[in-house]
């Protein structure tokens, strides 16, 4: 997917914008515990299934635990 984003969507990686490819739930949990802070959190973990509440991001990213983790990871003026 990274190759596609770079080639077809003009993605540019630099010291302020990076892509992390791994299990998103585990990354968020680990990063929140480590105390890392971000200006923006964007999660691109989608499904094409029809019988779900949300397609993107998938439901696991909306649990109470995950929302608490996002809040802990955002800088005071950050956005999710």
Q: Of these residues, 23, 39, 44, 59, which one is catalytic?
A: 44
Compute CA distances 63 → 10, 60, 75, whole Å.
Answer: 32, 6, 20
Say how far apart CA 29 and CA 31 lie, in whole Å: 6
Answer for the pair 78, 39: CB distance below 8 angstroms, yes or no: yes
Residue 53 is a catalytic residue? no
Which residues belong to the active site? 44
């Amino acid at each position: 997917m990274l190759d596609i984003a770079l080639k077809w969507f003009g993605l540019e990686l630099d010291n302020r914008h990076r892509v992390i490819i791994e299990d998103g739930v585990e990354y968020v949990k680990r990063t929140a515990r480590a105390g890392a802070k971000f200006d923006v959190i964007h999660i691109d973990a989608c499904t094409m299934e029809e019988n779900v509440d949300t397609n993107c991001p998938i439901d696991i990213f909306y649990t109470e635990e995950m929302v608490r983790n996002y809040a802990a990871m955002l800088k005071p003026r950050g956005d999710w």
